[in-house]
Homo-oligomer: A and B are copies of this chain.
Amino acid sequence: MKIVIIGAATGGMTAAAKIKRSLKEKVKITAYQKLAYPSLGACGLPYFVGDNFSDSNKLIARTVEEFDKSDIKVHVNHEVVKVDFVSKKIVVKNLETNKEIEDYYDKLIISTGAKARELPNIKYSLKNVYKLNQIEDAVALKAVNEKKNQNITVIGGGFIGLEAVENMQKNNNITLLEATPRLSQKVYDAEIGDLLKQELIDNKVNVITDARIKNVVIENDEVKKIILEDGTEVKTDAVLVAIGVVPNTEFLKGTLVKLNEFGAVIVNEKLETNIKDVYSLGDCALTFDRVTKQQVHVPLATIASKQGKVLANVIMGKNDAFQGSIGTSIIQVFEGQIARTGLTEDYVVANKIPYKKLFLNGVDHTHYVQGAKPIYVKVIYNPETKMILGAQIYGYNNSVLRINSIVPLIWNQTNYQTVRDLDLPYSPPFAKSFDIMNVLFGMLGGE
């Protein structure tokens, strides 16, 4: 069997490694990667910018040489320009020589990941405009961060934007522009978004929500000033645009492969596209929400690596299927931490799902052991089906890992009355004897 992987991102390469381990010499695996390296751990980019580490190679989970040792051939600086799904042929351009070669596959994996979205009026081609999607981006932004005392404008209050703000704030003056009324509005409800905003303000970040850009002052290919619709002028030495990602699927446009409206590959639970022997996974593909059964785009490494293992099974002929996502995530922003899972209140309102909500606050452990900190839990639930729909926890010192008690309940759509007295761990340095999660489960269970 000959497997070709387009794009050596996490998902495809996880599948490759597992298939190779099982099938050994019975399979030939070749990956073509446009970038100069495979297996980028993009989630590390903000931490590299913040100088948590200085060797950018640490961002590469597995090198070309390491894949080579496992008998997986990775061609970097090779861009796939055309796929002929009928004759199972691909055309690849060597970006160093500009020569084109052809290759053939029995099974094709599309694992091209995603790239940074671009703003129409603040292009990445400008000298002081940055993105944070590849190693080169991080190296450039790190140089800005290390200049110190710069006025840096971060556009976009999502995960990458927030982590970049935290990592550059020590050295620089940061303004965070978020176009919507709340930070990370698609993943956090208002109560949690407000706590996040306050954490940023407490750390001297100039946070501007509802920031609609009216005008951008550009001189000598550099953004000098961003003028908002309300008249606010943001002077800037550098701009990081972090407004999300779009799938790297241009080469598939107009082909037989079904993409959604923003270019994500549509796959089923087996990671199969609409074309036989063609698979896709990770940031370039859609996945499905386990609760709503809707197709969703969840560009997170944790999804890609799980899908990679499933895809390996599918390609090796096992009857397997990816179990889906429930949108779980966690983030640290300065001292504040947010863990979340399931649906947001905005989503259930928009989709007319019946719901009630609880917003609890408490302390993460007993007052008599030092270091006790506030903890906040927001939950939305369906009182008719007795199911938790979504949960968000704001806290400190890993206390937010309490989300782990809710994840399996949403995952398996467990009736919350069954966990009213759930036996969660308690001792004075970790919890109160009636922990906030037990308060929550008690209230849900109608104690």
Residues of A bordering B, CB below 8 Å: 10, 41, 43-44, 47-48, 52-53, 58-59, 159, 163, 290, 300-306, 309-310, 313, 322-332, 337, 339-341, 366-370, 397-399, 401-405, 407-409, 411-412, 414, 418-431, 433-435, 437-438, 442, 447
Contact = CB atoms under 8 A, between A and B. Distances in A.
Contacts of A429: 332
B424 A328 contact: yes
Given A310-B447, A419-B411, A427 B332 contact: yes
A436 to B, nearest CB: 12
Nearest to A420: B323
Nearest to A44: B368
A113 to B, nearest CB: 13
A409 B438 CA distance: 16
Given A47-B366, A305-B433, 12 more contacts: A10-B433, A302-B434, A305-B434, A309-B442, A323-B418, A332-B429, A398-B401, A401-B425, A405-B407, A405-B408, A408-B419, A408-B422
A59 B405 CA distance: 28
25 contacts: A58-B367, A59-B368, A301-B426, A302-B423, A302-B435, A306-B447, A309-B447, A323-B418, A328-B424, A330-B427, A332-B427, A332-B429, A332-B430, A337-B430, A339-B425, A341-B423, A341-B425, A399-B401, A401-B425, A404-B405, A404-B425, A407-B424, A408-B414, A411-B418, A412-B414
B402 A412 contact: no
B411 A328 contact: no
A421 B305 CA distance: 10
B433 A43 contact: yes
B421 A369 contact: no
Most buried by B among A323, A328, A425: A425
A36 to B, nearest CB: 19
A190 B405 CA distance: 26
A375 to B, nearest CB: 12
A15 B162 CA distance: 45
Contact of A44 (B366, B414, B421): B366
A443 B328 CA distance: 21
A368 B44 CA distance: 7
